[in-house]
Structure 1
Amino acid sequence: MIDELVENDGRWTPWAVGALRIVTALLFLEHGTSKILFFPETAGSGPSMWSLLWVAGWIELIGSLLLLVGLFTRPVAFLLAGEMAIAYWTVHSPKAPYPVLNGGEAAILFCFIFLLLLATGSGAWSVDGVLRRRRPEADGYRA
């Protein structure tokens, strides 16, 4: 079993990417539900309407739900990676130069996971995959 994983020929990649997408979406969903739905309630819950945090909350809520089911994975991942880059540079980096000091590790990790999903697509267990199988390849879209 271990030898199969060590000498991986890529056959497990779609499932690994799918699992990463689902777990990341579930973790990211908490940020959106906290801001918009007050669950779980945090210091950032209930930002003023149309504030930057309110807009970020809606992006996180809707984007994470789309990622969870694997629908429009690449464009959603692009948007979320940008949001996390903005979050890091506007909220975290002014506090301290190092992520361990400014609390920005999660923003950086989310950003780069979303960039990976932008590059790889949705992986296994996704609506994008179902739609891709139903569509002719001539349209040039790949999940």
Structure 2
Amino acid sequence: MNTRELETVWAPRMLSVLRIVTALIFLAHGSQKLLGFPASDGMPDPFTMGWIAGVLELFGGALLVAGLFTRPVAFVLSGQMAVAYFIAHLPQSFFPALNGGDAAILYCFVFLYLVFAGPGPWSVDATRRQRSA
């Protein structure tokens, strides 16, 4: 397999894999907050910041798993993770390894990448684009 084949065939597929795996893990954070699964310490009260974060994580994660409305959803989730980092993690310490904000930073930048890269070929967005062409 040459480099050209890796770029043209596998790079778009791996973009889809990155989107799906990231979204599944992110969705699990939302299901933990809103549904108590997997086990959690408790669920946030409705319409609090924690509850809104859970809604975005659960439904945004589900949309990203499917690859539906990928760019706008990824934009919103990237912003959510930036806000989460600055509100919840940065006040604890400047260093992400000490403040527990590593995941928020990674999610923020993976989602920002998806805004520009799109969903990849294994997505509802790609299927809709093919049908309209």
Give the TM-score range, shorter chain: over 0.9
Give the corresponding residue for 2:25: 27
Give matches, 1:1-143, under 5 Å: 1=1, 4=2, 8-43=6-41, 45-136=42-133
- Structure 1: give runs of 5+ residues left out of the alignment: 137-143
TM-score by length of 2: 0.94
Paired-residue identity, %? 50
Q: Residues of 2 paired with 1:85 and 1:34: CA distance? A: 20
Give 1:5 deviation, angstroms.
Answer: 5.1
Q: Residues of 2 paired with 1:72 and 1:118: CA distance? A: 10
Give 1:12 deviation, angstroms.
Answer: 1.7
RMSD of aligned residue pairs (Cα, Å): 1.5
- Structure 2: give runs of 5+ residues left out of the alignment: none
Q: Residues of 2 paired with 1:125 and 1:7: CA distance? A: 18
Q: Residues of 2 paired with 1:129 and 1:98: CA distance? A: 39
Give 1:92 deviation, angstroms.
Answer: 0.3
Q: Residues of 1 paired with 2:7 and 2:116: CA distance? A: 19
Q: Which letter maps to 2:85? A: Y
Encode CA deviations 1:94-127: one digit per residue, 9 max, x unaligned.
0000000000000000000001110100002100
| Aligned positions, number | 133
Give 1:6 deviation, angstroms.
Answer: 8.9
Structure 2 SS opposite 1:48? coil
Give the corresponding residue for 1:141: none
Give 1:134 deviation, angstroms.
Answer: 1.0
